[in-house]
Amino acid sequence: MTSLQGFDATAVEPTTPIEPVPSGKYIAMVIESENKPTKAGTGHYLQLTFEILEGDYKSRLLWARLNLDNPNAQAVSIARAELSSICRAVGVMQPKDSMELHNLPMVISVRCRKRSDSDEMSNEIRGYARKEAAGVGVQSGTHAPPWNRTA
């Protein structure tokens, strides 16, 4: 149990529901990665947290889960293809650690879909592309190149 002594809800604005971002293409980067066990406990997935870098939805977070260790061979194949797309989008072709994918801008294609468990709308990342190849101008000085990043 955590003490909440001193907290006054009347002094703090309540949160408002966060709606999914509209379907479209966004400049984003991986800011976190974590290896997590699957719900069934039979494998692991790599969870990548993406942050949108520009526009009306700047600072919004989206997630991708890649089933890289799973008894279902098709799930692993799909995850490996998605990881390949991410690697190509950021120019890191043979990462030794997921940290090598962090803080590198790319274009993500996002769509909205209805969740099967609640009928609520949620976001799904459906594609990845190089920032330059997508016709989006590079903002100089905003992101350090991979050789000049701190771990």
> What percent of the chain has pLDDT above 70?
87
pLDDT at 24: 96
In angstroms, the Cα distances linking 98 to 102, 114, 143 are 7, 29, 18
Mean pLDDT, to the nearest integer, of 15-27? 93
Mean pLDDT, to the nearest integer, of 28-37? 98
Q: How far apart are CA 145 and CA 124, in angstroms?
A: 27
pLDDT at 1: 84
Determine whether 15 is exposed, middle or buried from the number of CB atoms within 10 Å of its CB (0-12, 13-18, 19+). Answer: exposed
On whether the CB atoms of residues 131 and 145 are closer than 8 A, the answer is no
pLDDT higher than threshold 80 for residue 121:
yes
pLDDT at 142: 39
pLDDT at 77: 97
Mean pLDDT, to the nearest integer, of 11-21? 91
pLDDT at 138: 36
pLDDT higher than threshold 70 for residue 146:
no
pLDDT at 31: 98
